Amino acid sequence: MDFKKHLDEKRLQVDGFLKDYLDSIDGVPEILHSAMEYSLFAGGKRLRPILLLSGCELCEGDPISAMPLACAVEMIHTYSLIHDDLPAMDNDDLRRGKPTNHRVFGEGNAILAGDGLLNSAFELMLGLRPLDGGRLDAVRTIAEAAGVSGMIGGQVLDLEYEGKKIQLDDLKEMHSKKTGALINGALVAGALTAGCSGQKLQSIRDFGQSLGIAFQIRDDILDVIGDREVMGKSVGSDYSGKKSTYVSLLGLKEAKAAVHRLAVRAKENLVGFGDSAGFLVWLTDYLVDREF
């Protein structure tokens, strides 16, 4: 299989579904629709929906039937980015090389665009029929990953730790919630829609946990060595003087080594799936070696 081609095809499928779904929602004020669309199609990697579809495929499920869940996860992720960029949080001017949502539409509309994406994500998931068994478990998994003990909880810790020197365990806890929870939740939700359970489900969960941490450490590394023009970030957006990162706590060399240890550990959890895990093995290497 040409894994890069497979990745690009999945991105296009996700984009197409998201566009059709957003345009199908009736009665949305024009400025709200524009603000939601602006951030939803601002050039995201579509990592989380692709992981959900891949988790479904890994367990021999039908990825087409899981597409609403996959796209709901991307809408939740996008809402979190809009809110994270706000002056009350990270106060960023650029996201993926473009002005952040609140810089284009104003703070009020940006908040409401994030709220709209979050609510629409759950409308989309709750519209699945039949909504029982693995599908219901998948929706619950996504809700928990995005909730107060997952992504939102991690964002609160991020605010609490700003300007403080924290320990490595604190940083791991924060990022396992803020970044890792939705990455892992997407994978597990995809597996659940395919009826996965037992040791196979645990292996997928363990894979996702290692991948989520590796992904974040690579982000921290790129904040130091990456090309800001390529990454679409403004100068100073890594908050190097205000926030602890894996690089500031471990050093660049050890941070790079940690990424590759985690990648190896992640891929070890896929051994039992044989050739079916080929794409996820490739994707792991692709993500930890990425330049943006």
For 133-167, the pLDDT digits (tens) are: 899 999 999 999 999 999 999 999 999 999 888 99
Neighbour tally for 268: CB within 10 Å: 13
For 159-214, the pLDDT digits (tens) are: 999 988 899 999 999 999 999 999 999 999 999 999 999 999 999 999 999 999 99
pTM of the predicted protein model: 0.94
Task: Please state the rounded mean pLDDT for residues 66-90.
Answer: 97
Q: Which two structure tokens, joined as six digits, stand for 170?
A: 């604190």
Least trusted range by pLDDT, from 121-125, 206-210, 233-237: 233-237
CATH class of 3-288: mainly alpha
Cα distances (Å, whole numbers) of residue 223 to 219, 236, 246, 265: 6, 9, 11, 24
Helices 198-225 & 168-175 angle (0-180, nearest 10): 110
What letter does residue 94 receive in the DSSP assignment? E
Residue 228 scores a pLDDT above 90: no
What letter does residue 206 receive in the DSSP assignment? H
Q: Give residue 235's pLDDT.
A: 44
Residue 232 scores a pLDDT above 80: no
Gap between the Cα atoms of 63 and 178, Å rounded: 26
175: Cβ contacts below 8 Å, ≥ 6 apart? 154, 212, 213, 216
Domain residue limits, the chain = 3-288
Q: To 10 degrees, the CA torsion angle through 46, 162, 148, 51?
A: 20
- Over its C-alpha atoms, the chain yields an Rg (Å, rounded) of 18
